[in-house]
Chain A
Amino acid sequence: MLQAYWYIAKMRILTTIAYRFEVFAAVGSQMIIMLAAVYLWKTAYSGDTSSTTMQLNQIVTYTIISILLGSVFICDVQDTIYHKIREGQIAVDLYRPIMLLGSYLADDLGTMMSSVVNKVLPLFVLASLLFEVPLPDSFTSFLLFVPSCVLSYAILWLLSAIVGLVAFWVMELGNMGMVKDSIVRILSGSIVPLWFFPSSVQTVSQFLPFQYTYQTPLAIYIGEISPLDALTAMGIQFVWIAALYALLYVVWSKAKKKTLIQGG
């Protein structure tokens, strides 16, 4: 059974190697975003820095790692489900013997593995050459960072799966995943950490899952959060994972029921 999943992941890796231009283009894309973000911050910090205690090098590291995480947090499941529904393929897939969502996860994990080699490595090297090596604040920070990332990915993936499945009901409205991505991008702290935002926004954000996807692990990495607070944050991540998992389960069952009645 596990072999089937491994095979799927391996196919992904093979495909990615074959498409080296795509890889160059993707790395290039991320480099542009990184350049723009870092230079924006550098320009900002050349102005009046009195309103913040954060150092330039901290925010640069934050930005670089944020982009690396973005390359690695693959959630293609969202688009996959959407397109399969649009093309009426989903009924066919439901007949396959392995768990459908599980296979999508295997797909994404496979892409993630090749992304680490294809994207993260070159991006890390380029960033180190152009700016500075984005080192974690301390060894402890790094130790806490890794599990937090895993939890972040879980939250993102579950969210993407749910949004993708929503297409079952609102397919005609187009790809809602794009909408969700734009919201996540800003509210997750991936572009600008939330503590730069007005306090009203920060309060609301605490009750949403988004800041726990990027900001939490990133803040841990640069040492803005004490280890104790980090563990608390990870606890909250767990809570969100549980909640989203439950939601996904409900949505998935409803979706399956709908397909079996309507036939894809």
Chain B
Amino acid sequence: MVTTVRHYYSVAVCYARMAIQRQLEYPLFLVSWLLMIPIAYFSGLWVLKILTDRFQSLNGWDFSQLAFIYSLGQFSHGLLVVFFITTWYIDGMVIQGEFDRLLLRPMNVFFQLVVSYVNFIGLVDLIPGTILFIYASHLVSFDWSLANILKLILIVIGGMLIRAALFICLSSVSFWTKRSSSLIGFTLNLLERTTMYPLSIYPFVLQMIFTFLIPIGFISFYPASEFLGQSSGFHIPFSMALWTPLVGIVFFVISQLTFNFGMKKYESAGS
């Protein structure tokens, strides 16, 4: 058991080291990315500002609270982009038969997939989010106690797992359809629109779906509601700091099972 862990750890570290080297070689490439991210990001926020200026509040959420939920959602997104960006390419890999190479190695295929590329450039995504969160938390007088910081960390990691699980499940569809699913763009939009605004703007049916079927609400809405003392439709007992990571782990395990199921299909049908 210990040797296995050490084995996997050494492989992960090796990959990470090489990923950094690779990404450091083309720094200029970052420029367009660096320009686009803040523009996209702040324009989204600008829209909220304009709306709240005109209409005072959205369902009882004022601008500072909207900024809070917006930036909270961005943290788990940023972490996803750093650690799980390989999940966006699963469908392409299925079609190109790239999994053959992973199957030829004496290691778990999913692990190889995730660990093979750590996208350090994604850390850039986190910068505007962090700035905004600090600003927003100042506006809402967020209490930076140790307990709250711990809660935040758990929630952000849980959020990352929920997001990753969603991408994995949807990408795994290509194991059966043998097609580029291009569900990645769809999923990105879905996640974006449901984590940057409070879920309460959506009708009840959608809120149900995003709580019980595809637990996106746990990424930013329920945690933010809890921190800010906002009502959130369903009364969920215990703290989000418990629920979000729990939901994240469970959903992630489900996505793993889906992926393994898909791999069996790949192994029986080839590419």
Contact = CB atoms under 8 A, between A and B. Distances in A.
- Are A and B direct contacts in the complex by CB distance below 8 Å? yes
Interface in A35-58: 35-36, 39-40, 42-49, 51-52
A185 B202 contact: no
A259 B203 CA distance: 55
Interface stretch (B56-64, B71-79, B134-142, B254-262): B56-64
B190 A32 contact: yes
A186 B39 CA distance: 9
Nearest to B58: A43
Contact of B181 (A25, A29, A35, A196): A25
B169 to A, nearest CB: 14
Interface in B138-190: 177, 179-183, 185-186, 189-190
A52 B195 CA distance: 28
Nearest to A40: B201
B29 interface: yes
A182 B55 contact: no
B28 interface: yes
B46 A186 contact: yes
A205 interface: no
Contacts of B189: 29, 32-33
A173 B200 CA distance: 40
Contacts of A44: 51, 54-55, 58
Contact of B32 (A19, A36, A175): A175
A43 B201 contact: yes
Interface residues of A, number: 39
Contacts of B55: 44-45, 47-49, 51
Interface string A168-202: 00001111101101110110000110001100000
Contacts of A174: 28-33
Contacts of B58: 40, 43-44, 47
A51 B53 CA distance: 9
B135 to A, nearest CB: 20
B53 to A, nearest CB: 8
Nearest to B27: A172
Contact of A25 (B35, B185, B193): B185
B50 A196 contact: yes
Contacts of A186: 43, 46-47
Given A173-B28, A179-B39, A47 B57 contact: yes
A63 to B, nearest CB: 12
Contacts of A229: none
Given A40-B51, A174-B31, A47 B56 contact: yes
Interface of B: 26, 28-33, 35-36, 39-40, 43, 46-47, 50-51, 54-59, 177, 179-183, 185-186, 189-190, 193-194, 197, 200-203, 206
Interface of A: 19, 21-22, 25-26, 28-29, 32-33, 35-36, 39-40, 42-49, 51-52, 172-176, 178-179, 181-183, 185-186, 191-192, 196-197
Given A25-B183, A33-B193, A178-B32, 15 more contacts: A25-B182, A44-B54, A47-B55, A47-B56, A173-B29, A173-B31, A174-B31, A176-B35, A178-B33, A178-B36, A181-B36, A182-B40, A185-B40, A192-B51, A196-B50
